[in-house]
């Protein structure tokens, strides 16, 4: 067996490692190099300019505006998504009442699970177009309902007061389903007898959630937090398709700025790479911080 | 396409670039002197073959698959094939020109003909400043394929060469001729007894009448509000003369705050103030707003002459859309009411590093032949830049009004090109300002301020190449 192991390891590890190196690592490294040039993307000529791109970036109001929006996404999206995800997962796993003993989900749990997962099955592009129509101020579902109730009908994506929050809502909506399933699966792993014990002690459902479920799910929540934080620093697809950063840059995000700089209204690939490098470090720091902040002792069931 | 994809593609493209950049460090700065390798196809020039096409050289054509589709290009390719049966033609169509072709430009293996258009268009400023586009001068001097006694240049509508020229070099062949104006439904106006107004005061009075009849006078593409910058700037040019556009194109200081622009912005502010714009318009995209207009929810919309074919599937029978020039501000206008913005659009180019440059130019010559142009007009209901190519072709209702508007405008026609020179200025900066202005969040003075700030930011950006035009 021993002799056979090395070739096996190599044959399993090498191809993915090479692929990873060629298609992930080297482009990332390349981006660093490009970010120090004035490359315009359509010729082989790229003159090194040192850190000039980063200096420009420091004074680029549009980049700062985009970063500010990403900061709001970072603060709001994970909290909202995890809170909603936990709430729904709890309801599905133990929200049922009916006065019966033990822990049950609400009626129709299976159906809800399926429905919540729908957005996850749809491509993000479809989600963006779907919601764009929903927000249509004239024939959209939203204003249709508001109008029927006699309420004011804003222009949603056309109004800088709402556009960004409209996109944010879609981001939460499209993510919640996945975390309901994730948290739900983690809850299955929590031994039932713990719940039955606290129920006997007369704990309410909120106490159960706060004192039992969340501490025991902490690992999963932490992972969710990191995923969502990284997603919040992105937000590119939804923004690009729904508002393209508008109106008047009110819903711009850093990914959209980078795209626009390279492929959109300009061809400044050097500068766009500099934005990419900044994004890379931001994402990395956020991931590390999220890991640190959420670190707790692991609880093992035995 | 997500962020990581883009980063990866950007970077992979760079990966291709770097070894080349190292090797070509000397050559690249010498202005592409590395072209004379055996890879390019060049035939013998003769009277029959003025561009020197190598008859068996393959030709690769990339078409933007947008409002015009790709069938017209296939027809042009068939015409080329007829003349050069040994040439193998590779045709492809995409909506994402920049993303698809960027690596190939870097790699030095671009296609021979590129229809650089649409939302994924490559910024021409970047292409021109990197010498990535071939000079089309030879094409202009070549004899027309089927209009005897004329060079290709002689057959083009006025302004075609100017729009495609950068610092005097003709680099971009814009194939269609587009008129920008204000559109309305002849049927709606006839039913209600309305008359299109020729002066701004009358226009406002008409708007009042239309609103009283329960129809919104205006709608616009709120998510692409630059559509509304067209009539506004047109109003200013008709009031102050073509110098207004010249100053804007040449990024002259305070060009956006000229008296003419101020008068025009003040005038247009009226339709915002008096709420003559369809509710919710700021949240509609171009297609949604145009559809609302086709459904009779609004009377006027600003658009180019592609509107008719873009809306073909939702326009009710007998709608009869008509284009009209912007109303005159008053009797002091420098240009008459009939003056309209007409320009060559739908850009085609031959990359400088294409293998078959001569073939690319010949393909353009085929497109610009009378036969090629008529076929295009028949297929996609749009004018071409070839003079008189509509003769004998039956035009749809809207396009007929376009031809009439052009005829009436004659030598008074005008245009601007800052959107070609500096894509970002129109697409991002003026666009954002228009959004604020036409939704009523800012007034005319702030609107012009914001446009001017945008123009100044481009003027001060040393990494953007600047172009000037004389007239």
B14 CB within 8 Å of a chain A CB = yes
Model pTM score:
0.86
Interatomic CA distance for residues B62 and B325, integer angstroms: 34
Residue B389 pLDDT = 87
Residue A97 pLDDT = 62
Whether residue A31 lies inside any domain: the answer is no
DSSP strand pairing (B321-324 vs B89-94) = unpaired
Give contacts of A263 with chain B, Cβ < 8 Å. 6, 98-99, 102, 120
Residue A302 pLDDT = 53
Interatomic CA distance for residues B41 and B52, integer angstroms: 9
Count Cα neighbours of B324 within 13 Å in the Cβ-side half-sphere. Answer: 20
A-interface mutation test, from B11, B293, B425, B462, most A Cβ less than 10 A away: B11
Tokens of B458: 């481009």
Interatomic CA distance for residues A52 and B14, integer angstroms: 19
A23 CB within 8 Å of a chain B CB = yes
Residue A247 pLDDT = 92
Domain boundaries, chain B: 36-176+344-403, 178-342+414-460
Task: Give chain B's residues under pLDDT 50.
Answer: 1, 3, 7-8, 10-37
* Fold exhibited by the domain B178-342+414-460: D-Maltodextrin-Binding Protein; domain 2 (3.40.190)
Residue A173 pLDDT = 94
Tokens of B140: 């202009």
Give contacts of B13 with chain A, Cβ < 8 Å. 41, 269
Give contacts of A259 with chain B, Cβ < 8 Å. 3, 6
Minimum CA–CA partner of B430 in chain A? A248
Q: Answer whether B132 sits within 8 Å of A31, measured CB to CB.
A: no
Whether residue A18 lies inside any domain: the answer is no
Q: B202: how many CB neighbours lie within 10 A of its CB?
A: 14
Smallest CA–CA separation between A69 and chain B, in Å? 16
Q: Name residues whose C-beta falls within 8 Å of residue B440's C-beta, 6 or more positions apart in sequence.
A: B272, B273
- Which of helix, strand or coil describes residue B323? strand
Residue B196 pLDDT = 96
Interatomic CA distance for residues B85 and B245, integer angstroms: 46
Residue B30 pLDDT = 32
Residue A202 pLDDT = 82
Q: Which CATH architecture has domain B36-176+344-403?
A: 3-Layer(aba) Sandwich (3.40)
Q: Identical fold at B36-176+344-403 and B178-342+414-460?
A: yes
Give contacts of A153 with chain B, Cβ < 8 Å. 279-280
Residue B187 pLDDT = 96
Which of residues 136 through 165 in chain A touch B, CB cutoff 8 A? 136-139, 143, 153-160
- pLDDT band of residue A192 (cuts 50, 70, 90) is confident
**Mean pLDDT calculated for residue range A152-166:** 92
Is A296's pLDDT higher than 70? no
A59 CB within 8 Å of a chain B CB = no
Question: What is the predicted ipTM?
Answer: 0.84
Residue A100 pLDDT = 55
Instruction: Report the phi/psi class of residue B348: left, alpha or beta, with left for phi > 0 and alpha for psi in -120 to 50.
Output: beta
pLDDT digits (tens, 9 = 90+) for A101-134: 566 777 788 888 888 888 888 899 999 999 999 9
Provide the residue range defining the domain that includes A97: 59-293
Instruction: Report the phi/psi class of residue B377: left, alpha or beta, with left for phi > 0 and alpha for psi in -120 to 50.
Output: alpha
B123 CB within 8 Å of a chain A CB = yes
Interatomic CA distance for residues A286 and A284, integer angstroms: 5
Residue A41 pLDDT = 87
Q: Answer whether A155 sits within 8 Å of B423, measured CB to CB.
A: no
Residue B264 pLDDT = 97
Q: Answer whether B131 sits within 8 Å of A236, measured CB to CB.
A: no
Give me the CATH number covering residue A267: 1.10.3720.10
Number of structural domains (chain A) is 1
Smallest CA–CA separation between B281 and chain A, in Å? 7
Q: Answer whether A159 sits within 8 Å of B282, measured CB to CB.
A: yes
Interatomic CA distance for residues B389 and B377, integer angstroms: 8
pLDDT digits (tens, 9 = 90+) for A14-72: 999 999 999 989 988 999 999 999 999 888 888 899 999 999 999 999 999 999 999 99
If you write DSSP's letter for every residue of A28-60 in order, what string do you get?
Answer: HHHHHHHTTB---SSSS---B-TTHHHHHHHT-
């Amino acid at each position: 067996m021993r002799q056979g192991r090395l070739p096996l390891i190599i044959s399993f590890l090498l191809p993915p490692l090479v692929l990873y190196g060629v298609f992930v690592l080297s482009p990332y490294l390349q981006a660093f190099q490009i970010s120090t040039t004035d490359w315009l993307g359509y010729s082989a000529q790229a003159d090194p300019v040192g850190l000039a791109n980063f200096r420009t970036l420091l004074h680029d109001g549009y980049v700062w505006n985009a970063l500010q929006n990403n900061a709001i996404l970072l603060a709001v999206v994970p909290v909202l998504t995890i809170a909603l995800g936990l709430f729904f997962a709890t309801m599905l796993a133990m929200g049922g009442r009916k006065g019966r003993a033990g822990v049950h989900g609400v009626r129709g749990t299976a159906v809800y699970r399926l429905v919540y997962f729908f957005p996850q099955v749809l491509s993000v592009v479809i989600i963006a177009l779907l919601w764009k129509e929903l927000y249509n101020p004239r024939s959209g579902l939203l204003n249709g309902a508001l109008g029927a109730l006699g309420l004011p009908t804003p222009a949603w994506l056309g109004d800088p007061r709402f556009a960004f929050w409209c996109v944010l809502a879609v981001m939460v909506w499209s993510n919640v389903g996945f975390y309901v399933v994730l948290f739900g699966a983690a809850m299955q792993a929590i031994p039932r007898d713990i719940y039955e014990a606290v129920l006997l002690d007369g704990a309410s459902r909120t106490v159960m959630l706060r004192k039992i479920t969340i501490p025991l799910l902490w690992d999963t929540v932490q992972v969710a937090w990191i995923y969502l934080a990284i997603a919040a620093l992105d937000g590119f697809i939804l923004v690009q398709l729904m508002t393209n950063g508008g109106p008047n840059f009110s819903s711009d995000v850093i990914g959209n700025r980078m795209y626009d700089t390279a492929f959109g209204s300009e061809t400044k690939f050097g500068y766009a790479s500099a934005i990419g490098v900044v994004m890379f470090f931001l994402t990395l720091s956020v991931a590390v911080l999220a890991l640190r902040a959420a670190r707790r002792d692991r609880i093992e069931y035995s | 396409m997500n962020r990581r994809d883009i980063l990866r593609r950007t970077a992979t493209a760079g990966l291709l670039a770097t070894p080349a950049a190292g090797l070509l460090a000397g050559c690249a700065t010498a202005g592409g002197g590395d072209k004379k390798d055996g890879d390019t196809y060049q035939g013998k020039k003769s009277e029959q073959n003025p561009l020197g096409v190598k008859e068996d050289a393959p030709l690769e054509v990339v078409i933007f698959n947008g409002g015009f589709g790709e069938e017209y290009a296939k027809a042009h390719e068939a015409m080329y094939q007829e003349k050069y049966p040994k040439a193998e033609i590779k045709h492809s169509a995409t909506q994402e020109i920049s993303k698809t072709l960027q690596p190939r430009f870097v790699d030095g293996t671009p296609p021979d003909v590129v229809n650089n258009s649409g939302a994924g268009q490559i910024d021409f400023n970047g292409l021109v400043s990197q010498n990535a586009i071939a000079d089309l001068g030879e094409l202009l001097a070549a004899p027309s394929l089927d209009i005897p006694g004329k060079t290709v240049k002689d057959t083009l509508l006025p302004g075609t060469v100017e729009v495609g020229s950068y610092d005097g070099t003709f680099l971009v062949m814009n194939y269609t001729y587009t008129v920008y104006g204000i559109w309305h439904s002849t049927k709606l106006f006839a039913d209600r007894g309305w008359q299109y107004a020729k002066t701004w005061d009358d226009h406002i009075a008409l708007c009042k009448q239309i609103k009283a009849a329960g129809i919104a006078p205006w709608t616009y593409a709120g998510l692409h509000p630059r559509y509304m910058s067209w009539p506004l700037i047109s109003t200013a040019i008709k009031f102050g003369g073509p110098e207004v556009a010249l100053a804007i194109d040449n990024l002259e200081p305070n060009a956006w705050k000229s008296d003419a622009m101020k008068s025009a912005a003040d005038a247009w502010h009226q339709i915002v103030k008096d709420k003559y714009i369809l509710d919710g318009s700021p949240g509609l995209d171009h297609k949604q707003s145009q559809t609302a207009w086709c459904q009779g929810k609004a009377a006027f919309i600003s658009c180019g002459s592609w509107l008719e074919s873009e809306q073909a599937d939702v326009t009710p029978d007998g709608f009869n859309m008509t284009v009209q020039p912007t109303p005159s501000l008053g009797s002091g206008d420098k240009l008459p009411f009939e003056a309209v913005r007409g320009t060559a659009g739908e850009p085609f180019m031959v990359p400088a590093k294409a293998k078959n440059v001569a073939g690319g130019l010949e393909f353009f010559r085929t497109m610009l032949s009378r036969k090629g142009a008529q076929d295009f007009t028949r297929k996609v209901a749009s004018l071409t830049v070839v003079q008189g190519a509509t003769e004998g072709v039956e035009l749809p209702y809207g396009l007929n009004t376009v031809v009439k508007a052009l005829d009436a405008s004659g030598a008074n026609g005008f245009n601007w090109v800052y959107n070609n020179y500096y894509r970002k200025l129109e697409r991002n900066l003026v666009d954002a300002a228009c959004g604020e202005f036409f939704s009523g969040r800012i007034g005319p003075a702030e609107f012009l301020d914001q446009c001017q700030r945008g123009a100044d930011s481009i003027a001060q950006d040393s990494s953007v190449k600047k172009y000037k035009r004389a007239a």
